[in-house]
């Protein structure tokens, strides 16, 4: 199979030019002006942007959490991702306490194989790491699982202590793997939560009000200190507040290999979107929670200055009916997480490019190139170059639409961004040379996505 993409404006993190792209099988084999190669399929991309497919490095598909399971599995979640121009994701496998991390890897392969419609990698969430099992982490790296998430929140469920964090980081400093940190001071938050419940404060808004920004800032600071002592890099996930951002900025100014992502919900939503509708707020219960609105400008500035390198979604969808409703009498029982896998590129294009905050190149860098570099996929993915996988999105910058539960492809029964008007959308999506979205239809086969063995964190990249 060969494909010729004609006349498109090719945008990578570094370049912006008009040319044709020739694809043979799954790879880009030629880029140039007025290519005359015979092709099985020709796509006219005149007046369109041609970008590397989006890479979402933070998703939770088919994940057991809070007494239920996230509602998108690897089939529905990857399809929704593709409609939004994401052609690769990295999901989180979770080690159940008392089991080996190898078991979790097998469970997540089982979930993904035969279902994923785009390529996927896995991070491993470590919940318990006895000394006798430390070497399991090296096995993971050999399997291409080169990043480990640790939780400083959710005591008794997912949280690990500082010694475990330090030991894990010491190990990654030798293997080149990367620790992804959920940074919130879980022990203190738990005390604040218990006090709120004792006072009868059970509504969803109290999820947000019991998780102060200082609890995030403190944990980010501590994780950076632990990483510095261990001589390891650290990647802060779903950073939500200025308190946390300042700690990352300070560390980076000192030259430490400290990185961070934020997510669209923290850039577009705030506490102002909660507190009006009683239990409807449960739709916006995720962790870290929404913050006061002024934090948004700080996060956008962080993206502009490269204090934040990546925007991921933390897609962790639970339906309002029956799933979020588990916490109708007690906010601590609301499964934490929100849906967003489909709208990351659109939202970042709207808030970043259309609203004049950064260039189209920076947009591509945030949603594709930096994720590929950070997580050992570059240059196979994250760029458009001869030899790279032909994961390519034809982006229509003029397409106007309104985000809504009535038109999205995620399985969840609400949208966090309901009614938001957007200009710009993925028109045609190729994954390894195969057109998987065209004319608003999904054309890819279920199960066609491959597991990606990722390289270890490159270290030298900033």
Shortest distance, position 196 Cβ to ligand URP, whole Å: 18
- Tell me, by CB under 6 A, how many residues bind ligand URP: 9
**Binding at 409: pick from ligand URP, Zn ion, none (beta carbon under 5-8 Å per type):** none
Which member of 60, 291, 295, 343 binds ligand URP (CB under 6 A)?
A: 60
**Binding at 286: pick from Zn ion, ligand URP, none (beta carbon under 5-8 Å per type):** ligand URP
Told to check if 337 binds ligand URP by CB under 6 A, we report yes
Told to check if 261 binds Zn ion by CB under 5 A, we report no
Nearer to ligand URP, 58 or 432 (CB): 58
Cβ proximity of 245 and 299 under 8 Å: yes
Give the DSSP H/E element, type plus range, for residue 174: helix 162-175
Shortest distance, position 121 Cβ to ligand URP, whole Å: 16
Nearer to ligand URP, 94 or 435 (CB): 94
Cβ proximity of 20 and 32 under 8 Å: yes
For residue 406, give both structure tokens.
Answer: 């009535």
Cβ proximity of 429 and 436 under 8 Å: yes
Contacts to Zn ion from residues 301-320, by CB under 5 A: 314
Shortest distance, position 401 Cβ to ligand URP, whole Å: 26
**Binding at 167: pick from Zn ion, ligand URP, none (beta carbon under 5-8 Å per type):** none
Nearer to ligand URP, 52 or 339 (CB): 339
Beta bridge partners of residue 381, listed in sequence order: none
Nearest-Å Rg of the Cα atoms of the chain is 21
Shortest distance, position 439 Cβ to ligand URP, whole Å: 34
Per-residue binding string, ligand URP, 210-249, x by CB under 6 A, is ----------------------------x-----------
Which member of 182, 247, 324, 454 binds ligand URP (CB under 6 A)?
A: 182
Shortest distance, position 287 Cβ to ligand URP, whole Å: 4
Cα–Cα distance for residue pair 128/157, rounded to 1 Å: 10
Contacts to ligand URP from residues 395-434, by CB under 6 A: none
Q: Are strands 2-11 and 41-44 parallel, antiparallel or unpaired?
A: parallel
**Binding at 337: pick from ligand URP, Zn ion, none (beta carbon under 5-8 Å per type):** ligand URP
Told to check if 287 binds ligand URP by CB under 6 A, we report yes
Cβ proximity of 344 and 84 under 8 Å: yes
CA angle 192, 196, 197 (to 5 degrees): 120
**Binding at 22: pick from Zn ion, ligand URP, none (beta carbon under 5-8 Å per type):** none
- Tell me, by CB under 5 A, how many residues bind Zn ion: 2
Contacts to ligand URP from residues 303-322, by CB under 6 A: 314, 316
Cα–Cα distance for residue pair 430/393, rounded to 1 Å: 6
Contacts of 70 (CB under 8 A, 6+ apart): 60, 61, 62, 63, 316, 317, 318, 335, 337
How far separated are the first and last CA of the chain, in Å rounded?
37
Cα–Cα distance for residue pair 119/124, rounded to 1 Å: 17
Shortest distance, position 71 Cβ to ligand URP, whole Å: 13
Q: Which SS3 state, helix, strand or coil, does residue 241 take?
A: coil
Q: How many residues does the chain have?
A: 462
State residue 311 phi and psi, 5-degree precision. Answer: -115, 120
Shortest distance, position 233 Cβ to Zn ion, whole Å: 18
Shortest distance, position 340 Cβ to ligand URP, whole Å: 11
Shortest distance, position 266 Cβ to ligand URP, whole Å: 11
Cβ proximity of 188 and 194 under 8 Å: no
For residue 386, give both structure tokens.
Answer: 């001869």
Give the DSSP H/E element, type plus range, for residue 187: helix 186-198
Per-residue binding string, Zn ion, 168-187, x by CB under 5 A, is --------------x-----
Which of 53, 332, 354 is CA-nearest to residue 202?
Answer: 332
- Residues interacting with ligand URP, by CB under 6 A? 60, 182, 238, 286-287, 314, 316, 336-337
- Residues interacting with Zn ion, by CB under 5 A? 182, 314
């Amino acid at each position: 199979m060969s494909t010729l993409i004609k006349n498109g404006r090719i945008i990578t993190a570094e370049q912006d030019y008009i040319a044709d792209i020739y694809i043979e099988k799954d790879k880009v084999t030629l880029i140039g002006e007025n290519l005359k190669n015979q092709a099985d399929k020709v796509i006219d991309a005149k007046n369109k942007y041609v970008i590397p497919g989006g890479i979402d490095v933070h998703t939770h598909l088919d994940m057991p959490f809070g007494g239920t399971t996230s509602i998108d599995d690897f089939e529905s979640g990857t399809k929704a991702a593709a409609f939004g121009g994401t052609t690769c994701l990295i999901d989180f496998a979770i080690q159940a306490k008392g089991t080996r991390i190898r078991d979790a890897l097998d469970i997540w392969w089982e979930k993904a194989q035969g279902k994923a419609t785009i390529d996927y990698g896995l991070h491993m969430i470590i919940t318990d790491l006895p000394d006798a099992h430390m070497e399991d982490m090296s096995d993971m790296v050999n399997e291409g699982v080169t990043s480990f998430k640790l939780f400083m929140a959710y005591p008794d469920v997912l949280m690990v202590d500082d010694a475990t964090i330090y030991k894990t980081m010491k190990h990654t400093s030798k293997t080149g793997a990367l620790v992804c940190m959920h940074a919130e001071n879980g022990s203190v938050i738990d005390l604040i939560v218990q006090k709120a419940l004792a006072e009868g404060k059970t509504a969803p808004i109290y999820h947000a009000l019991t998780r102060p920004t200082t609890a995030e800032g403190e944990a980010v600071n501590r994780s950076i200190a632990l990483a510095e002592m261990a001589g390891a890099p650290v990647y802060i996930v779903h950073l939500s507040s200025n308190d946390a951002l300042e700690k990352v900025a300070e560390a980076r100014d000192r030259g430490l290999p400290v990185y961070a992502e934020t997510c669209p919900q923290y850039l577009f939503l705030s506490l102002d979107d909660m507190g009006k509708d009683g239990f409807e707020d449960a739709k916006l219960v995720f962790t870290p929670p929404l913050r006061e609105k002024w934090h948004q400008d700080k996060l956008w500035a962080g993206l502009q200055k490269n204090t934040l390198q990546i925007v991921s979604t933390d897609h962790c969808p639970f339906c309002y009916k029956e799933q979020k409703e588990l916490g109708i009498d007690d906010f601590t029982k609301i499964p934490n997480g929100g849906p967003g896998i489909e709208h990351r590129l659109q939202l970042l294009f709207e808030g970043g490019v259309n609203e004049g905050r950064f260039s189209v190149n920076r947009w591509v860098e945030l949603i594709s190139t930096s994720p590929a570099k950070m997580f050992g996929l570059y240059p196979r993915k994250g760029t458009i170059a001869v030899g790279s996988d032909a994961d390519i999105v034809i982006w229509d910058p003029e397409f106007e639409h309104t985000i809504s539960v009535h038109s999205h492809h995620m399985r969840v029964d609400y949208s966090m961004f309901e009614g938001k008007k957007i200009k710009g959308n993925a028109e045609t999506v190729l994954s390894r040379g195969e057109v998987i979205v065209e004319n608003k239809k999904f054309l890819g086969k279920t199960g066609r996505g491959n597991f990606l063995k990722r390289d270890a964190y490159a270290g030298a990249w900033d």
